[in-house]
Amino acid sequence: MNRKTAPTTAGAGQIRFSGYEGPANYVIEGEPSKLRLGPTRLRGALKVSAEVAQAAFRAGDGALKLDDGRSLRISMIGHTAGSEDVFVELRV
């Protein structure tokens, strides 16, 4: 049986969380343009400096402005100390 794989969306955007606003590269599993209000979430990852990644994970929540101008709320769900990656869930 073949399983559908979600499309991957990558780009450069702006991340904002308590005490910080700046650039971030992102990869999202799924199509952000199809995301609507409600419980549905997409998963993805942000690539920033190690210091910003640690601060973002500690903040817990924030916002990501995509390169197409759309803004999504994000919840930081994973980070490894010293890594430049923060794993996130995205919602409208």
Residue 14 lies in domain: 8-91
Q: Identify whether 3 is part of a domain.
A: no
Q: According to the model, what pLDDT value does residue 1 have?
A: 64
Q: According to the model, what pLDDT value does residue 29 have?
A: 93
Q: Identify whether 25 is part of a domain.
A: yes
Query: Vertex 32, ends 29 and 33: CA angle to 5°?
Result: 145
Q: Which two tokens stand for residue 57?
A: 């994970």
Q: Identify whether 59 is part of a domain.
A: yes
- The DSSP code for 86 is E
- pTM equals 0.87
Q: Identify whether 2 is part of a domain.
A: no
Mean pLDDT of the chain, nearest integer: 92
Q: According to the model, what pLDDT value does residue 39 have?
A: 80
Q: According to the model, what pLDDT value does residue 18 have?
A: 93
